[in-house]
Amino acid sequence: MALEKKFDATTAEPRLYQAWEAAGCFVAGANAKPEASSYCIMIPPPNVTGVLHMGHAFNNTLQDIMMRWKRMQGFDTLWQPGTDHAGIATQMVVERKLAETQQPSRAEMGRDAFLEKVWEWKEESGGQIINQLKRLGASCDWDREAFTMSGNFPDAVIKVFVEMYNKGLIYRGKRLVNWDPHFETAISDLEVENVETPGHMWHFKYPLAGGATYTYIEKDEDGNVTLSEERDYISIATTRPETMLGDGAVAVHPSDERYASIVGKLCEIPVGPKEFRRLIPIITDEYPDKDFGSGAVKITGAHDFNDYQVAKRGGIPMFNLMDTKAAMRADGKPYAEEAAIAQAIANGTQEFDEAMIAAMNLVPEEYRGMDRFEARKKVVNDITAEGLAVMTTVVDFNEGDDGENIQRIIPYVENKPIMQPFGDRSKVVIEPLLTDQWFVDTDKIVGPALDAVRNGDVKIMPESGEKVYYNWLDNIEPWCISRQLWWGHQIPVWYGPEKISGDENLDYKGVPLRAFCAPTAEGALSLAREYYGSETDKGGARLIELHDDTSKLYGIQNSSADGSQIIRIGRDPDVLDTWFSSGLWPIGTLGWPEETDALKRYFPTSDLITGQDILFFWVARMMMMQLAVVDEIPFKTVYLHGLVRDANGKKMSKSTGNVIDPLDIIDEYGADALRFTNAAMASLGGALKLDTKRIEGYRNFVTKLWNAGTYGDFKGTFDVPHADGVPETNLPLNNWIKGEIAKTREAVDAALDTYRFNDAASTLYSFVWNTFCSQYLEFTKPVLDGDDAAAATETKATYAWAFDQCLILLHPIMPFVTEELWGAKERPKMLVHTDWPTYTAADLVDAQADADLSWTVAMIEAIRSARAQMNVPGGDFVPLVVVGMDAAATSAWDQNEALIKRFARIESLTAVDTMPKGTAALAVSGGAFGIPLDGIIDVAAEKARLEKTLGKLAKELGGLRGRLNNPKFADSAPAEVIEETKANLALREDEESKLKDALSRISELG
């Protein structure tokens, strides 16, 4: 079969991929040797809404290289693919689509109908990334494609929740969480992006209760009084005035002398209707920074994470001011009533509990329903109008009518950058909000995850990743796992009213009090029956039912007409954080909790290849959860890589317009070129800057390989029948290339063994382009074109074999072009399942051939260099002379005379006693070689050339001699280093003397 002149990636890639799939090449265990060890990679599941971007392309190229390599080696392989349901992202996409197509909104259609729409969307347009991965050549076992909302996976997720709940690793509580007002759900702290944003710091006066005053004294570092005045207020600085309505206290540092006299007193929140102003205590806490602002801070436990801690420590009530859209609350009793109760609490005359505080709305009527940012403006204006803003004096220079300076007194507002939290999906400002949420008690499960890495059971690469991992896990916070969404795994908890202790009465206060956690509704029912007592126990007086409207959440206590009691339990409407289910990806996709064959064979998995940006989101959580659930590590090695950036190192983003679409790249350059580029970029710890020039270069490499194929085809090497073994050879040329291939195979394996994809790629690039094409291929020409039939036959067979080895070794990185070339002759197996070679350099390197060919290559290069610099016309054949040629050189010459003559354009070699005048000298070992150029030599050019070479040599010699002359070097350096240095020196000295001779001879001419 004759090869096409060019490789047509566009048509070949889909054809080859189909052939692999049709033959089941990627199925788990395909091509495994009997009794093979397993090798498994879990794909980092892309969002079901995802489209392939450069990061995926990079990540999956590396995984595919490992898979294909291991599969050829005969491991029992599994590359487990699948997608993630991606709670927020998917819900967002479907909601947007409903809006675009004028369908009822999510709220209008209700939970069940909406979920149906999501599933519809998923069937129609979800998972398009899967087909895009195929275009990249990803050799996943698609028969096993998983989805976090399908098959056994949801059951596994629910089971884990229930087990962790029963072990006390999951709890529910009212905590301050990051609230996304756009999606109206809690999110975890990892889903918050803190961005420095221009902001303001306002300074307000909180008047002391009852008009009390104190002497406010400020001192400098030396204790000298710089300010002393009577004040009837305490000055507070805040970036969030709208939260003042929920203040529970003002805090100062215990060592702050300025305020010591008023600690314990009450002050007034200077906002809201004057007759209902609340008084709050001035307390001490370690949190305020004396040097920041006035040193006094307002404590708003329900709206700030630092304040929350202070409020918890100090037993200060936390008043929630906002609704789920982060607008000022509009529910509850009139402000006057609420404020009175709050005042009673502050005075200590009213007891309070969490539920009571949560129900209170301390937003004055005039603010109710207002957007939080509008409310901020209004608070500032109201306080300023009342004269309670701290004022400052500014001077407008030369602005007066007569050019004089004007002094103005204005409110003191600092313009300063503040760290503003944004939702990573919604991009709106996150509001800390006090809500009931489910948490994983990470403190209890973090230990084994840390130990597994510390003791080396799991290795993270690059090593710096381990440090980052420790740092995060050592300081881990509880993980908020409930989301107020519909798309996801609904929390398997049903609520009913709590029993009053020791009594059979039920205490229903409108909030869920008793949780029943079970995998199914039936399970929850039976837990509830057990708890409340069954109907028969109560003489038929009590009936336990499921409430069907989960959005109403909670169990309801009813009494029916006959006096019997009906208790309803209702399911928690919330769903689990997507990362909770992703955290179970390894066991979940392998069929857990069933003891499946796949689980036994492939778990724990081998390598995890993923982006360092999800080390915390995913890797750490998989570690914690797998260890918590099945007490085993999920994988042995984690390979972390960076973000793919553009050629200038900029993050690719739509708004910058620098996004490179991998599918466009595949269309233009072919998947192999993209894959090779990815491999070449993948140095451990390096930045990933993608330059299309580089892709173009590797596309050229694909062409180079193809052309080496067409050369072979042209010379008949594809007529040589396929053979698995290494061919027997006699010609030095063929002996030599076998050794070179063995060295390359070892280098590639060593590189892939240590995940140095870039080393593997550059080894192969350099071998194929330089050694194979520029040298070996060229050197076969005289033989294949020559008269020695036996030599030609041997060389044809060797070329065929050697080229096959190139295809095999390149296949993991460039599967398409290699499979296509492989298929150009009859083969026992497709390349994808061809055995990876195990020959070694020790087996195949022929020392003599190696030395001879190296010398030959050096000789050709030296002659070409001299010719080019001496301006000897390229086509001319010139004579070569030598003085004192040694045995090694003679042997090498004899073996490879034809090659040197052909490729360096030499007509003859003559041994002479002395160099003829006007000879261009060659820096080659084994004798003083020269090209006689009498008459045509450019004396000046030759002198310059020799001097330059001598200069370089002198520098090198200086270093070598310096070392050897240093007695300490001889004492301390290892023997082989000394030997090597000595040998090197001798060689260089010999070269130098020959060149010096040449220089003096040429000088005679000039």
Partner RNA sequence: GGGCGAUUAGCUCAGCGGUAGAGCACUUCAUUGACAUUGAAGGGGUCACAAGUUCGAUCCUUGUAUCGCCCA
Query: What residues numbered 585-624 form the site for RNA, per CB under 7 A?
Result: 613, 616
- Contact range with RNA by CB under 7 A, out of 199-207, 253-261, 427-435, 695-703: 695-703
- When asked if residue 24 is in the footprint of RNA (CB under 7 A), the reply is no
Interface with RNA (CB under 7 A), residue from 152, 534, 758, 890: 758
Give phi and psi for 859, each to the nearest 5. Answer: -65, -45
Q: Are 26 and 68 in contact (CB under 8 A)?
A: no
Residue closer to RNA by CB (options 520, 966) is 966
Tell me whether residue 378 or residue 694 sits nearer to RNA (CB atom): 694
Residue choice 661, 778, 990, 992 for contact with RNA (CB under 7 A): 778
Stretch that binds RNA, among 391-399, 594-602, 760-768, 992-1000 (CB under 7 A): 760-768
In sequence order, what DSSP letters do the residues of 841-904 get, joined into one string? HHHH--HHHHHHHHHHHHHHHHHHHHHHHTT--TT--EEEEEES--HHHHHHHHHHHHHHHHHH
- 977-996 positions binding RNA, by CB under 7 A: 977, 980-981
Q: Is 859 in the site for RNA (CB under 7 A)?
A: no
Nearest to 84 by CA among 47, 118, 121: 47
Output phi, psi for 235, to 5 deg: -90, 130
CB of 723 to RNA, least distance (A): 23
Binder among 649, 721, 786, 884 for RNA (CB under 7 A):
649
User: Could you count the other beta carbons within 10 Å of the beta carbon of residue 263?
Assistant: 15
Hey, which residues between 467 and 496 contact RNA (CB under 7 A)? 467-468, 471, 475
Question: Contact 48/122 with Cβ under 8 angstroms?
Answer: yes
Alpha-carbon distance of 524 to 517, in angstroms, equals 6
Looking at the Cβ atoms of 384 and 703, the one nearer to RNA is: 703
Taking the complex as a whole, how short is the minimal distance between the CB of residue 758 and RNA, in angstroms?
5
Taking residues 152 to 191 in sequence order and writing x for each that binds RNA by CB under 7 A, - otherwise, the string is -------------------------------------xx-
Neighbours of 532 (CB within 10 A): 23
Q: Tell me the closest approach of the beta carbon of residue 307 to RNA, in angstroms.
A: 12
Nearer to RNA, 773 or 888 (CB): 773
3-state secondary structure of 791: helix
Long-range pairs for 894-901: beta carbons < 8 A, 24 or more residues apart: 895/732, 895/852, 895/856, 896/732, 896/733, 896/852, 896/853, 896/856, 898/782, 898/786, 899/733, 899/779, 899/782, 899/856, 899/860, 900/856, 900/859, 900/860, 900/863, 901/877
Nearer to RNA, 205 or 945 (CB): 945
Can you tell me the distance from the alpha carbon of 462 to that of 823, in angstroms, rounded to the nearest whole number? 38
874 lines the binding site for RNA (CB under 7 A): yes
Would you say 227 or 986 has its CB closer to RNA? Answer: 986
Rounded to the nearest 10 degrees, how much is the dihedral formed by the CA atoms of 46, 52, 54, 55? 0
Judged by CB under 7 A, the stretch of 97-105, 152-160, 766-774, 848-856 that binds RNA is: 766-774
Q: Does 194 bind RNA (CB under 7 A)?
A: yes
Nearer to RNA, 399 or 876 (CB): 876
Applying CB under 7 A, which of residues 263, 973, 985, 999 lies at the interface with RNA? Answer: 973
Query: What is the Cα–Cα distance from 854 to 735, expressed in whole angstroms?
Result: 13
Nearer to RNA, 318 or 644 (CB): 644
Q: How many CB atoms lie within 10 A of CB 177?
A: 24
Query: In the complex with RNA, which residue's Cβ is closer, 305 or 373?
Result: 305
The only residue of 636, 769, 823, 879 in contact with RNA, by rule CB under 7 A? 769
Q: Does residue number 334 form part of the binding site for RNA (CB under 7 A)? A: no
Q: Interacting stretch for RNA, rule CB under 7 A, among 285-293, 524-532, 813-821, 859-867?
A: 859-867
Q: How far is CA 73 from CA 727, 750, 763, 835, 895, in A?
A: 21, 14, 19, 6, 37
Contact predicate 899/777, CB 8 Å: no
| 305 near RNA, rule: CB under 7 A | yes
Residue 856 beta carbon to RNA: minimum distance, rounded to whole angstroms: 13
In this chain, which of 152, 762, 848, 890 binds RNA, going by CB under 7 A?
Answer: 762
407, 415, 536, 648: residue in contact with RNA (rule CB under 7 A): 648
Candidate ranges 319-327, 654-662, 688-696, 798-806; the one touching RNA (CB under 7 A): 688-696
How many residues appear in the chain? 1006
CB nearer to RNA: pick between 323 and 749: 749
30 scored as a contact of RNA (CB under 7 A): no
Residues 704-723 that bind RNA (CB under 7 A): 704, 707-708, 710-711, 714
Question: Which residues does 429 contact at the CB level (< 8 Å), separation at least 6?
Answer: 181, 326, 420, 421, 422
Residue 954 amino acid letter: A
**Residue whose CB is less far from RNA, 27 or 953:** 953
For 615: left if phi > 0, alpha if psi spans -120 to 50, otherwise beta; the answer is alpha
CB of 949 to RNA, least distance (A): 9
DSSP reduced 3-state for 526: helix
Tell which positions 126-155 bind RNA, by CB under 7 A: none
Question: In the structure encoding, which two tokens stand for residue 537, read together?
Answer: 């126990």
901 binds RNA (CB under 7 A): no
Question: Binding RNA by CB under 7 A: which of 647, 944, 986, 987?
Answer: 647
738: enclosing H helix or E strand? helix 732-753
Applying CB under 7 A, among 1, 6, 96, 398 the residue interacting with RNA is 6
Task: Pick between residue 711 and residue 816 the one whose CB is nearest to RNA.
Answer: 711
In angstroms, what is the minimal distance from the CB of 645 to RNA?
7
**Residue among 18 and 766 whose Cβ is closer to RNA:** 766
DSSP letter string, 66-101: HHHHHHHTT-EEEEE-EEB--HHHHHHHHHHHHHHT
> Does 292 interact with RNA (rule: CB under 7 A)?
no
Question: CB of residue 864 vs RNA: minimum separation in angstroms?
Answer: 4
Residue 144 is given by DSSP the state: G
Q: Count the site residues for RNA by CB under 7 A.
A: 76
Does position 447 bind RNA by CB under 7 A?
no
Q: Is the peptide bond before 593 cis (omega within 30 degrees of 0)?
A: yes
Q: Among 329, 514, 699, 811, which residue sits at the site for RNA (rule: CB under 7 A)? A: 699
- H helix and E strand count, the chain: 32, 37
Stretch that binds RNA, among 220-228, 751-759, 798-806, 930-938 (CB under 7 A): 751-759
- Nearest distance, CB of residue 426 and RNA, angstroms: 16
Nearest approach in angstroms of CB 515 to RNA is: 28
Amino acid (one-letter) located at 915: M
CA distance 782 to 856: 15
CA distance 340 to 606: 64
Minimum Å distance from CB 455 to RNA?
19
Which parts of 408-437 interact with RNA (CB under 7 A)?
A: 419
Task: For the segment 668-687, give every residue that binds RNA (CB under 7 A).
Answer: 683-687
Nearest Cα to 840, choosing from 700, 975, 745? 745
* Least distance to RNA, CB of residue 860, Å: 7
Nearest CA to 635 out of 644, 627, 646, 643 is that of 627
446 or 567, CB closer to RNA? Answer: 446
Residues of span 941-970 touching RNA by CB under 7 A: 948, 955-956, 958-959, 962-963, 966, 968-969
Question: What does the radius of gyration of the chain's CA atoms come to, in whole angstroms?
Answer: 39
Ranges of H-type helices in 275-400: 305-314, 335-347, 354-359, 372-385
Q: What 3-state DSSP class applies to 321?
A: coil
